Amino acid sequence: MPSVLPVPINPSVLEWARQEGGYAVDRIAERLHVKRERVEAWESGERPPTLRQVQELARFLHRPLNLFFLPSPPQVPSLAAEYRRLPGVTPGQESPELRLALRQMINRRENALALMEELGEEPTSFQLQAHLREKPDQVGERLRVALDVDVSVQTRWRDEWQAWREWRAAAEKLGIFVFQFPKVELSEARGLSLLRFPLPVVAINSKEWPDSRNYTLLHELIHVMLAAGNEEVPALRERRSGKDWEQLERFAEAATSFALVPENALRAVLPSRPDFWDIPSVRRLARRFRITPLAMATRLQTSGLMSWPEYTAWKKGWDDYVATLPPRGGGFAHPVDKTIGRSGRPYVQLVLQALEANRITSVDASRYLDLKFEHFSKLRDSLRETPARGDANE
């Protein structure tokens, strides 16, 4: 069929795909280089698109081509039924980039469960719980013990990339997946968690730098622990007031800071409270534990080593300082490094195991990993090696 001829798609499915993807009509029109009225005509059924235009729609909306020929739109659950409540994100009004990332991560988790069933494996059960009636330091200590990262080892990590890799590997042993998601603005989501058991998901925005990812990773783990303790539910069912939710977030932040820097380790390097906290002194302390200065300031505040007014003033100074820094650019990453960074080693290994057991085809494996099959030899080699700089960004 010539690509310039119109094709009889289902207009209601096209409208559903656009809306479910979070796209405005104008954005579709801009992407396909047509006027807004043309897109509206496609969705009303007044004028069908050409085959080439349908193919472009499928690519842009990340949908299979045959979707547009279904007799009716699919019935799918709300994405907000999966992820925890996020500050500033209204369920159903997520950006197109975040909605796509959520769909991809949900599919990845479902693929993993299906592959485990095919292979006769049982998913590792996530055993940790947390309750708001507890003290944050107790919850943080419990997570720290489960992660089994010794402070003496932590302080010897050579850089933030190794720290990120080690924290991620420790977290993945707890019965979760750690994914990364691209193209979402940090202002919308630095991290998130999918509150489904077994195999809940902790996801980190790949725009986060490694020293920030460590805090975000453990922060999301605290939220998973709270969900396991029936203290949290997915965003769609969350009914807390804004004030109550802020209190829960402060609890998670405090517990995270105690998990990253245990009290005895902090007191060992800081036997007394200094008269004044400035940016250089907090940065030096943060470097010792391979965390961000802001995370360290939060940690100091939770232990009473920095008063709340001091913390507020310090944070303002830090924000002003960060605003003067030039943006850090990203480098080139091989598709294999992107795959491992995006999906994590446990998920990649599971797909390869299913492929080697003839439970899936090479086409399936390429689709599960979003990686061309020509790269699979290098992928296997990379999994046998210890990465020099941690997992790559998207």
Instruction: Using the Cα atoms of residue 353, residue 103, residue 230 and residue 133 in order, give the sign of their dihedral.
Output: positive
User: Kind of pairing, strands 177-181 and 201-205?
Assistant: parallel
Same domain, 344 and 207: yes
DSSP class of residue 148 equals: T
Mean pLDDT across the chain? 93
In degrees, to the nearest 5, what angle opens at C-alpha 101 toward C-alphas 348 and 54? 105
Same domain, 244 and 145: yes
Instruction: Tell me: pLDDT of 388 over 90.
Output: no
Is 272 part of any domain? no
Is 319 part of any domain? no
Choosing from 43, 69, 95, the residue where a domain stops is: 69
Instruction: Tell me: pLDDT of 389 over 50.
Output: no
Confidence of residue 381 (pLDDT cuts 50, 70, 90): very high
Same domain, 17 and 120: no
Same domain, 85 and 57: no
Instruction: Tell me: pLDDT of 387 over 60.
Output: no
- Per the structure block, which two tokens stand in for 101? 């990332």
Average pLDDT over residues 150-154: 95
Q: In angstroms, rounded to a whole number, what is the distance separating the alpha carbons of residues 97 and 337? A: 21
Is 3 part of any domain? no
pLDDT of residue 271: 75
Q: In angstroms, rounded to a whole number, what is the distance separating the alpha carbons of residues 168 and 152? A: 18
Choosing from 69, 92, 113, the residue where a domain stops is: 69
Q: Per-residue pLDDT tens for 187-233?
A: 999 999 999 999 999 999 999 988 899 999 999 999 999 999 999 99
pLDDT of residue 325: 76
Same domain, 214 and 128: yes
Instruction: Tell me: pLDDT of 84 over 80.
Output: yes
Same domain, 102 and 244: yes
Is 279 part of any domain? no
- Per the structure block, which two tokens stand in for 223? 């939220």
Domain boundaries, position 16: 11-69
Partners of residue 367 on adjacent β-strands: none
Q: In angstroms, rounded to a whole number, what is the distance separating the alpha carbons of residues 339 and 343? A: 6
Confidence of residue 394 (pLDDT cuts 50, 70, 90): low
Q: Per-residue pLDDT tens for 2-48?
A: 667 888 999 999 999 999 999 999 999 999 999 999 999 999 999 99
CB 170 within 8 A of CB 149: yes
Partners of residue 159 on adjacent β-strands: none
pLDDT of residue 3: 65
Residue 276 burial by Cβ neighbours in a 10 Å radius (0-12, 13-18, 19+): exposed
Same domain, 348 and 381: yes
Partners of residue 203 on adjacent β-strands: 179, 192
Same domain, 61 and 109: no
Q: Per-residue pLDDT tens for 161-187?
A: 999 999 999 999 999 999 999 999 999
DSSP class of residue 173 equals: T
Q: What are phi and psi of 194, to 5 degrees?
A: -95, 115
Number of folded domains in the chain? Answer: 2
Instruction: Using the Cα atoms of residue 145, residue 146, residue 151 and residue 152 in order, give the sign of their dihedral.
Output: positive
We report the CATH number of the domain holding residue 37 as: 1.10.260.40
Choosing from 25, 50, 69, the residue where a domain stops is: 69
Same domain, 139 and 65: no
pLDDT of residue 385: 79
Partners of residue 84 on adjacent β-strands: 234
- Per the structure block, which two tokens stand in for 246? 């802020």
CB 6 within 8 A of CB 49: yes
Is 301 part of any domain? no
Q: In angstroms, rounded to a whole number, what is the distance separating the alpha carbons of residues 98 and 183? A: 8
Same domain, 157 and 242: yes
Same domain, 191 and 253: yes
Instruction: Tell me: pLDDT of 331 over 90.
Output: no
Instruction: Tell me: pLDDT of 330 over 90.
Output: no
Average pLDDT over residues 58-87: 95
pLDDT of residue 323: 84
Same domain, 256 and 178: yes
CB 40 within 8 A of CB 25: yes
